[in-house]
Structure 1
Amino acid sequence: MRRIYLDHAASTPIHPEVAETMLSVMQGHFGNASSVHSFGRDAKRLVNGARDDIATALDCRAEELVFTSGGTESDNLALFGTAAARADRGRHIITTAIEHHAVLHSCHRLEKQGYEVTYLPVDRYGMVHPEQVQDAIRQDTILVSVMYGNNEVGTIQPIEEIGSITRERDIIFHVDSVQALGAVPISCRDLPVDLMSFSGHKINGPQGIGALYIRKDLNIEPTQYGGLQERKRRAGTENMAGIAGFAKAVELAVSQLPERKQHDEHLRSSLLNFLEKSVGSGCFHINGGSSKQLTHIVNISFPECDTETMLMNLDMEGIAVASGSACTSGSLEPSYVLEAMNLPQNILRSAVRFSFGLGNTIEEIEYTAQKVGTILDRIRKNR
């Protein structure tokens, strides 16, 4: 059976050059980077070299990067670390209703610890507006956390405008850039951002590795303790192979960004064109669809077919897509992101996320659109 992977927003296949880099490290390096002997020094050089390479690609200082286990830990460290470091200045945090659960669940935990959180609503495109942030700021606001690009509908937020507001008020600004890395140009030096989260497995790197950018001279409290690694900000023996693979993935993602964007735009437009032919333009609805959009994500509702039925039928055809929502007790719940966008119930309950990446072809996209049409035809006949 033909197998087509259109769920790159969830995780991506490892790039062959990344796998080669990691294998070389696993076969040739086993020292602990904290050891003082030659094996440890070799490991330390490898970690520092990878950090330097990522810093160059992201336009920041090497010492501003902390390696983590991925985007979730980076988000957690940013929120809990900032909240603890600035608790004496206030206990109010601002975020949005459509953040990744790594941010939302962290905020829920902070609320239990006595912090107040304002969850900003979004418009029908999934956009939060800078004036909303401005209006929500209080005297005791210490942190604003807004994702760069949404993982479900792809909407890109006005990060520069929001960052200008927080910088004027000396409020820490955290940006979850897990989906944006490799999809939009990122310069940590130029953006008015204090903390930025990244993850390896979204850019054809390994799972279980990521980084948190922490602006120079910004103090945050660590969330795990043990050794003195990462300048005392994140204890734990370094994942050398993961770090080396992550560095290679970042290098490839940043250097190949224009080509990837063009390829993803072509796949996206082709999918919509093929769906018009196989389904009919009036039989599907694009969710989000803002002019500022991550090109590798398109969220589409097929009102004649609920999400679970479409996912299962596509999976039976060997096509992997996603709902973008969490699975609870074996049943798919409507997406909290789409709910925050105030979309109608028939749109909420029929949404499917297609996300493109390495290895996808126009032929695969055409085949997928044809299968969607076949599924909808079968549903219509069985009514």
Structure 2
Amino acid sequence: MKGRLAPHPGLAGGPVYLDYNATTPVDPRVAEAMLPYLTDFFGNPSSSHSYGAEPRAALERARRNVAALIGARPHEVVFTASGSEADLLAVRGAVVASGRPRSHVITQVTEHPAVLETCRSLERLHGARVTVLPVDGNGLVDPAALGAALTEETVLVSVMAANNETGALQPIADLADLAHRYGALFHCDAAQAVGKIAVDVQALGVDLLTVVGHKMYAPKGAAALYVRDGVKLEPVVYGGGQERGLRAGTENVALAVALGTAAQIAADELADGAAARIAALRDDLHERLAAGLPGRVHLNGPQKRRLPNTLNVSIDSALGHELLAAAPQIAASTGSACHSGTHTPSPVLTAMGLEAARALGALRLSLGRWSTPADIETAATALIKAAAAR
């Protein structure tokens, strides 16, 4: 990154934050950019008078910024209120728009619940047939398994770009190519990937792709769906025709501006090598834990094919939630944030074949824009001390 970021006000004086995969702090530059659209520029972007002009222009600037980050064209970006809504629009939208009475949908077992539960609803409400592919010990889908599952009835394949717990990066381009050979659409939930690594919808060959603001330093409630030209979807909200008629309702201009600004900053930082900086901190944390707890630290997920910010490890003879309770100096997760309140083995880790004891000993340590070498030293020292007592 160019220069050094000032400390984030929301992190000052608190525990070391290692839960960036759950949510990111809002970048102060993002907050500053969106503020005028909560105060001065309050007009409806659909209004033809002067009060609508600047909100309308801001909305389109934001759309261009999001499109530029993922290699899309601006009119292919549809703003939504969350990643879950974007997933719903993509998955349900594609199946219902197909008009097939017995649609076939394929996903995979470690997919985000937003996709898995939408698929189950399609089975229940629309008579769809759903195939859930397994993953290997690294959490990756075998393209051969997808090839074997595809049929002429397959309408959609939905596979995430990066897993939120292990950071495992799926072979999206290969999977999308297979889906297209059978005439199926391909949707990718890229919530965890966009902004952390380069994501290009053209290179990946996807038809639909989910972008989530609060995973890339924008506020919660800001998200988008890339919809390739020519792809037909059933709307998720009916009404006045906003967002290409796919998501009616007056647009939240401030949140769209926030997402667009976050996208622009992410593009700049990726170009400046931010991913390599964060990966180096992640690897330093892993090395410190392994050195301090010899033979007890085990990496969950792939060594190489993963997000640069994500470290998922299990520590022998320790439970993840007990370690975090004993190390209040850090804020992290034992699995996906959606399940952090329960102490059952992570479905992601068990799907990868991990034994219950190892899965229960897991920690998800995810770094981000404000992570520093001092944070890594503090976190490693606290976790080693907590684990050594067990």
Return the TM-score normalized by structure 2. Answer: 0.93
| Paired positions, count | 376
1:361 aligns with 2:372: yes
Structure 2 match to 1:339: 350
Q: Which amino acid aligns with 1:368?
A: A
Which letter maps to 2:97? A
Flag structure 1 segments of 5+ consecutive residues without an equivalent: none
Whether contact under 8 Å (1:325, 1:333) holds in the other structure is: no
After superposition, the C-alpha distances for 1:229-279 in whole angstroms (9 at most, x for unaligned) are 111110111111111111010111122115221111111111012112322
Which among 66, 73, 85 is matched to residue 54 of structure 1?
66
Alpha-carbon separation, structure 2, partners of 1:103 and 1:157: 16
State the Cα distance separating 1:46 from its structure 2 match.
Answer: 1.3
**1:291-302 equivalent positions in 2, closer than 5 A:** 291-302=304-315
Shift of 1:304: 1.2
The answer to whether structure 1 residue 313 and structure 2 residue 326 are counterparts is yes
Which residue is 1:261 aligned to? 275
Shift in Å at residue 326 of structure 1?
6.1
> What's the offset of the Cα at 1:25?
2.5
| Post-superposition offset of 1:184 | 1.8
1:1-383 to 2 correspondences below 5 Å: 2-88=14-100, 90-113=102-125, 114-258=127-271, 259-280=273-294, 282-314=295-327, 317-325=328-336, 331-379=342-390
For 2:340 and 2:64, the matched residues in 1 are separated by 44
CA distance in 1, matches of 2:240, 2:388: 60
Q: Is the 8 A contact 2:333 2:340 kept in 1?
A: no
| Amino acid aligned to 1:252 | I
Q: Does the 8 A contact of 1:227 with 1:235 survive in 2?
A: yes
Amino acid in the other structure paired with 1:161? D
Deviation string 1:82-129 (CA, Å, 9 cap, x unpaired) is 110113274110000000111111111111121111110000000101
Q: Tell me how far apart the structure 2 counterparts of residues 322 and 29 of structure 1 sit (CA, whole Å).
A: 39
Task: Decide whether the 8 Å contact of 1:89 with 1:140 is kept in 2.
Answer: no
Q: Output the amino acid matched with 1:86.
A: S
Contact 1:327 1:333 in 2 (8 A): no
Distance in 2, matches of 1:293 and 1:310, equals 24
Contact 1:90 1:141 in 2 (8 A): no
How far residue 329 of structure 1 moved from its aligned partner, in angstroms, is 11
The CA deviation at 1:344 is: 1.6
TM-score (norm 1): 0.94
Judged with a 3 Å threshold, the aligned counterparts in structure 2 of structure 1 residues 214 and 89 are, in CA distance, closer, same or farther, namely: farther
Deviation string for 1:308-337 (max 9, x for gaps)? 2112222xx231000224667953221110
Using the aligned pairs only, state the percent identity.
Answer: 38
- Code of the aligned partner of 1:77: L
Aligned alpha-carbon RMSD (Å):
1.6
d(CA) in 1 for partners of 2:255, 2:336:
28
In structure 2, C-alpha distance between the alignment counterparts of 1:193 and 1:363, rounded to whole Å: 40
- Consecutive unaligned residues in structure 2, runs of 5 or more: 1-12
User: For the residues of structure 2 that align with 1:129 and 1:90, how far apart are their CA atoms?
Assistant: 25
